[in-house]
Structure 1
Amino acid sequence: LAAGDDAYKAINDSLMTFPGELSMTSLNRLGNTFGLDMAAVEAKMNGPEVAEQLAKTKELAQILRITGTPTFVLQDEMLRGYLPYDQLMMVVNDKRS
């Protein structure tokens, strides 16, 4: 975003903690609270760069046989599905050592 890293983090945090279903209406409302030009955001979302990135991500997921979320890839190990925070951090710390 042109508004910088702080704005990106604030918007991302709002999206990740949004209490309801994300629709174009709710996205527009959320974007407006941050002063975004939602027509420009929607045009970018529907543009070729985003479509290309999504296609690459989907292709990588197919290669890795990732079929659901969350999936974490940590070096030579793939963790599929929910793990409590403490267990996830144990695996991460083990991989770091």
Structure 2
Amino acid sequence: MSPDQCVEAHELGELYAVRALDVSEHARGVERGATQELNLLLAGDQLHRDVLGLITAAGGGVTLDDLEHLAGQSRFDIEPLLGDGLR
């Protein structure tokens, strides 16, 4: 049996089954909160925008120590801008 035949024979073999999903109210609430938080950061001072840019550019794995070094600012200035995930 070829790999293509195995896929066709398998119960999960229908690779192109697409179902439209309704957006949940929970997801909409999360999106609204994230958008509001982003807008507040963008409307903030230069440090707010710098920290947001550094976190975005890092793509993950950035620490408070990293931000302190990269932004050239004290951790006491940066820490209040962060959620619990980076403290």
> Is the shorter-chain TM-score for this pair beyond 0.5, marking a shared fold?
no
**What is the TM-score when the length of structure 2 is the normalising length?**
0.30
**What is the TM-score when the length of structure 1 is the normalising length?**
0.28
Asked which structure has the greater CA Rg, the reply is 2
Q: Which has the higher contact order (CA 8 A, sep 6+)?
A: 2
